[in-house]
Structure 1
Amino acid sequence: MAILSAQSMPLSGLQPTYAPAAGGGDQAPVGEKLVLHVRNGDATSKTVTIATPGTVGDLAVADAAQTIPASGSAFIPLKAAFRDPATGRASITYSAVTSVTVAVLQLP
């Protein structure tokens, strides 16, 4: 499991650095204006799941899942609802990691 760091995006723009998605999952900071950019360079779709550790009453809140199409990408907000109380970060898993790269972006 890799711990991803946020890359600040200045008003002039950013050419982000991407890391390979980790087979055991990744952890990322959460907060306002933080997004996870996932790029799928593979010929098959991949699903990215972010654990939602909260509950409403006695019911668990469903995890957030986003399907990334083949050769596609997605931006996923990293809101405070994804904060794991043990680590303070979001826990991210992938259905497969072949040709998947990720970056956490801090928007201005």
Structure 2
Amino acid sequence: MPRTAVPVTQITRAGVAAPTETNGDPVNNHVIANNGRVVLLVRNSGSTVARTVTLRLPGLTDGQGITPRTVSIPQSTSRYIGPFPTDAYGAQLQVDVDNAELKLLAFGI
């Protein structure tokens, strides 16, 4: 199955309405169009344990895959993550979640 797309809401000086969160999909995971100026807001809606979001880095270094970046999101909290330079993360940011309790929003700055 293809990854679930997370829409990017562009922040403007005039302001924008708050977007709807994308529910975490631990089976298909997610993809976000990335121009190097994207910030991800991840909310752990669970109240019992921390959850993990994984940011995949494409490419190889000396023929070896690059270790993905992981961020722990404590229970009942949110974290802003980013921006993501395209030379490291690519034009299609791949985001994996370990549980559907994680809720995603992406913003262009």
TM-score category (smaller protein)? 0.7 to 0.9
In 1, Cα distance between the equivalents of 2:69 and 2:94? 11
Cα deviation 1:22-80 (Å, max 9, x = unaligned): 23201111122211111111021110001111222233221011000001111122331
Picking from 49, 58, 65, the partner of 2:63 is 58
Structure 2 alignment gaps of length 5 or more: none
| Cα distance in 1, alignment partners of residues 64 and 92 from structure 2 | 22
Normalised by the size of structure 1, how large is the TM-score? 0.82
Q: Name stretches of at least 5 consecutive residues in structure 1 with no aligned partner.
A: none
Percent of counterpart pairs with the same letter? 19
Question: What RMSD, in angstroms, separates the aligned Cα atoms of the two structures?
Answer: 1.6
Tell me the amino acid that sits aligned with residue 85 of structure 2: K
Mapped partners of 1:48, 1:7: distance in 2: 20
The CA distance in 1 between the partners of 2:68 and 2:30, in whole Å, is: 15
Equivalent residue pairs, number: 102
Corresponding residue to 2:37 among 20, 33, 37 = 33
- TM-score, with normalisation over the residues of structure 2? 0.82
